[in-house]
């Protein structure tokens, strides 16, 4: 099997930002640096954050050691397949909020990739 990173790997790494534990930006960067910055940003804010952010919004987050990558990918695919008007409007609003809420994490990741 060819050792090639795919979006599955990128999303799995980016999901670590949303675990209830110290974020290992060096590990995330080791995977993310193989992708263009625009793709990483899109994957973080438009694919991963909408699926994972709720974990950090609860008083006792259930995911603290890492998301299951296969389940995460299925959730991302299901989320991205929603295309009704209300879902699109909600998505655009959420992405705007995520870009503010997770700006520090995004900048830390970008700096780690330099």
The tens place of each residue's pLDDT in the chain, 114 residues long, gives 344 568 999 999 999 999 988 999 999 999 999 999 999 999 999 999 999 998 877 766 566 677 899 999 999 999 999 889 999 999 999 999 999 999 999 999 999 998
pTM of the model: 0.89
Distance CA 49, CA 25 (A): 16
Mention every residue, 6+ apart, whose C-beta is less than 8 A from residue 102: 17, 44, 45, 49
Mention every residue, 6+ apart, whose C-beta is less than 8 A from residue 90: none
């Amino acid at each position: 099997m060819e050792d090639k990173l795919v979006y599955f790997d990128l999303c799995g790494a980016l999901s670590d930002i949303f675990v209830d534990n110290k974020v290992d930006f060096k590990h995330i960067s080791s995977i993310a640096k193989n992708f263009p910055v625009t793709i990483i940003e899109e994957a973080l804010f438009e694919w991963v954050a909408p699926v994972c952010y709720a974990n950090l919004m609860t008083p006792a987050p259930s995911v603290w050691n890492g998301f299951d990558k296969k389940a995460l990918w299925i959730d991302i695919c299901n989320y991205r397949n929603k295309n009704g008007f209300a879902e699109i409007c909600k998505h655009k609003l959420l992405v705007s909020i995520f870009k503010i809420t997770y700006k520090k994490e995004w900048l830390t990741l970008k700096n780690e990739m330099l």
